Chains A and B, each alone.
Chain A
Amino acid sequence: METETIPSRTTRVDAYGLSHAGKVRSVNEDHFAIMTLQKAVQLRATNLQDTTLLDRLRKPQVDIFVVADGVGGGVGGKIASGIAVKAVVEYLAEAVGCVQDFNVDRENAFLENLSQAVERGHHRLKEMFQTQGGPATTVTMVTLVWPRAYVIHVGDSRGYSLRRGALKQFTRDQTMGDYLVDIGAVTEQHAEKAGLYNVLASAVGGDFVPSVGVVDLSDGDALMLCTDGLTKHVSDERIAEILRSQTAEAAVHSLIDAALDGGGTDNVTVVVAKAE
């Protein structure tokens, strides 16, 4: 009996994440998750001549990366970021069919599903802490359906891409400082002095204004999501250098070490994904 091995055309994504409380804070208010949704028929061998069958059977692999940085003092922030990440995981597990039955024509509905995953965490927090000013959290989530990365972003955690060695931030910080400087209400110096860059203008569990985006990747590109415990201590140049030269796991360890060496004044969480 003749058989033929079917080559896999799936792009492998090497992903790794780590969270550290830092050197000053006793509680780690950050959470992260890395998920892969798989619902596919794998045809391992056949003598069928018509291999178009494979295209109908193949579902795209969906990789999901999320980081969250809770705010609220005490253990409130930790609870908030945990609830938000858990809600994302739950929602996407329930909606796995919607996420994988994806095509260009249904892209808008797909994006809507991703937004709702983050929104579920927002509603949970609102229900749990019904007072204004309760615990809240940032959420930065990337859903990778190769080669397209769908981004849902709330708050001041960050997402970066590395292409041909150049690091680019694809999220924009949602802080009061950024907002007021943008509309010309205050100067950057005033915002800095008044601590406005430390106040979230949008948060899960607070004023919820998610930002949605798309970044198309190429082979060899890297993605990095992080909380601000990294970027307040490690320069873009250093981040790029580490991402360029190391595997996902090694890069995450190096970045966390760099943040701790730089002072480690905040919780720090890093997720790196590299397409191979």
Chain B
Amino acid sequence: MIQKKVCMVGVFATGKTSLVHRFVHSLFSAKYHSTVGVKIDRKQVQVGTEQVNLLLWDIEGRTPEQEIPESYLKGAHAVLYVADGTRRETFEQLFSLRDHVRSAAGDVPSIVALNKYDLKGQWVVSADDGRKLIGGGFHMLTTSAKTGEGVEDAFRWLATATLTAPPTPTVQPQVRHGN
């Protein structure tokens, strides 16, 4: 079976662990646990005729000023960037984060999960911001680990992208916000 390492990266408390928990176990926990080191989960997905075993490396969140250890990123086949729509700093660090990831893992397929869409009324990230991100070469989806919205799509998009380069999004990137 094909195995692909997917790294989850982003500032602390953006919902990386919750997205994995939703995707793998179909559950959501409102209680926050900070991850120490890396937690690794597995999930098989079917992509066309291929069965892909995704190894989800949920890497501990850092402050915007701290860099993720390169050793965690090495060998990644894909990256899921996670930002919190209610916290602007988690969105603003995406470009520098991508530079760091590329230097460690190369230019592997990636997508931004703009998370916590269930709190859309509190979002501080606008549609213009989303367009800037897409203009900067990011693929993006809005997600909610709480409701499950967009979660399956994000991981499936990555699984597909690891098999087909250059990837074409199966779900069109879009930004929605509550204002």
Contacts and interface: CB of A to CB of B under 8 A. Distances in A.
B28 interface: yes
A161 interface: yes
A108 B3 contact: yes
A181 B37 contact: no
Nearest to A215: B37
Interface stretch (A61-69, A122-130, A206-214): A206-214
A169 B71 CA distance: 20
A104 B30 contact: no
Instruction: Classify chain A: how many residues form its interface, as a range.
Output: 20 to 34
A212 B30 CA distance: 22
Interface of B: 3, 5, 27-31, 33, 36-41, 55, 57, 69, 71-72, 74-75
Given A181-B31, A212-B40, A213-B37, A104 B72 contact: no
Contact of B29 (A105, A161, A184, A216): A184
A195 B29 CA distance: 20
25 contacts: A104-B74, A104-B75, A107-B75, A108-B3, A108-B55, A111-B40, A148-B71, A151-B37, A161-B37, A169-B36, A170-B36, A181-B31, A182-B27, A183-B27, A183-B29, A184-B29, A184-B30, A211-B39, A212-B40, A213-B39, A214-B37, A214-B40, A214-B57, A215-B36, A215-B38
B25 to A, nearest CB: 9
Nearest to B41: A212
Contacts of B57: 214
A149 B71 CA distance: 12
A172 interface: yes
B36 A168 contact: yes
Contacts of B38: 213-215
Given A108-B5, A183-B29, A184-B30, A161 B69 contact: no
A211 B74 CA distance: 21
Contacts of A182: 27, 29, 31
A267 to B, nearest CB: 26
Contact of B72 (A151, A211, A216): A216
A175 B25 CA distance: 16
Contact of A216 (B27, B33, B40, B71): B71
A216 B37 CA distance: 7
